[in-house]
């Protein structure tokens, strides 16, 4: 079993427990910690902190240190340098919107599992050749959505996906019902206005509603 395959296996097991991943953009470490505590207490333990703010790595490090029940990962990882710094910050997985051969090469020497992004069959085949079997499907709705994932079930029966991009509470159950979908990513339960207001009660309610999506999938 390759390095990538072993990482995929371990991560897949964890994602299967709560297959809704909040995709989080947060502007302060304090807000990131409170948000993580709120989401974990509501049952959403797998978190993606995007590298779209200057404090993202600090937030990842703080959550890893102070919210032990969270599986905290980094999103918007674009290159080996990003991968190295999120790994040093304590990220337990990394997600990229796409993938390059440089990114795959950088992942080989790190213990931080990479979930590479794909939107086409050719990109998927490149990832398979690198030893991966778990991919982010991005941007899911714009790239073909549920129908494309269904079409990929035939030629790629052993591949699992995390669709992200345009996923809503209305669409999530249909995605999660597909046999090749491991989890879905979205930001509907972590709207930035509520984060900025510190309205953790409303975020908790949105997070708790995700459990009904799982039962309906």
Mean pLDDT of 79-99: 97
For 7, counting Cβ atoms within 10 Å of its Cβ (0-12 exposed, 13-18 middle, 19+ buried), the class is buried
Give residue-wise pLDDT tens across range 24-43: 999 999 999 999 999 999 99
Give the C-alpha separation, 205 to 211, whole Å.
11
Mean pLDDT of 129-153: 97
The whole-number pLDDT of residue 1 equals 62
Q: Of the candidates 204, 201, 161, 148, which has an alpha carbon nearest to the alpha carbon of residue 19?
A: 161
Active-site residue, 136 included: yes
Query: Is it the case that residue 77 has pLDDT exceeding 80?
Result: yes
The whole-number pLDDT of residue 15 equals 84
Half-sphere CA count of 4, side-chain side, radius 13 A = 19
**Percent of the chain's residues with pLDDT above 70:** 95
Catalytic residue (choose from 136, 141, 147, 150): 136
Q: Is 50 helix (H, G, I), strand (E, B) or coil?
A: strand
Q: How confident is the model at residue 3 (pLDDT cuts 50, 70, 90)?
A: low
- Predicted TM-score (pTM) of the model is 0.94
Q: Is 202 helix (H, G, I), strand (E, B) or coil?
A: helix
| Torsion angle of C-alpha atoms 13, 94, 176, 190, degrees rounded to 10 | 120
The whole-number pLDDT of residue 28 equals 97
Catalytic residue (choose from 48, 130, 150, 208): 48
Q: Which residue has the higher pLDDT, 204 or 9?
A: 204
Mean pLDDT of 146-160: 97
Q: Which residue(s) pair with 71 in the sheet?
A: 46
The whole-number pLDDT of residue 125 equals 98
Active-site residue, 147 included: no
Mean pLDDT of 177-183: 96
């Amino acid at each position: 079993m390759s390095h990538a395959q072993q990482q995929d296996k371990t991560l897949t097991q964890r994602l299967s427990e709560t297959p809704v991943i909040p995709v989080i953009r947060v502007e302060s470490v304090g807000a990131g910690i409170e948000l993580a505590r709120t989401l974990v207490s509501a049952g959403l333990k797998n978190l993606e902190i995007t590298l779209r703010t200057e404090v993202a790595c600090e937030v990842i490090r703080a959550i890893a240190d102070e919210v032990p029940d969270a599986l905290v990962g980094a999103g918007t990882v674009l290159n080996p340098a990003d991968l190295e710094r999120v790994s040093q910050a304590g990220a337990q997985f990394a997600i990229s919107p796409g993938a390059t051969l440089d990114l795959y090469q950088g992942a080989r020497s790190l213990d931080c599992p990479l979930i590479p992004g794909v939107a086409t069959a050719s990109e998927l085949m490149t990832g398979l050749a690198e030893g991966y079997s778990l991919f982010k499907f991005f941007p899911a709705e714009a790239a073909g959505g549920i129908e494309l994932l269904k079409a990929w079930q035939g030629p790629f029966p052993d591949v699992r996906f995390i669709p992200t991009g345009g996923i809503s509470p209305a669409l999530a159950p249909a995605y999660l019902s597909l046999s090749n979908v491991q989890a879905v990513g979205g930001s509907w339960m972590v709207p930035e206005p509520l984060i900025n207001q510190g309205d953790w009660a409303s975020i908790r309610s949105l997070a708790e509603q995700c459990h009904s999506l799982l039962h309906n999938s």
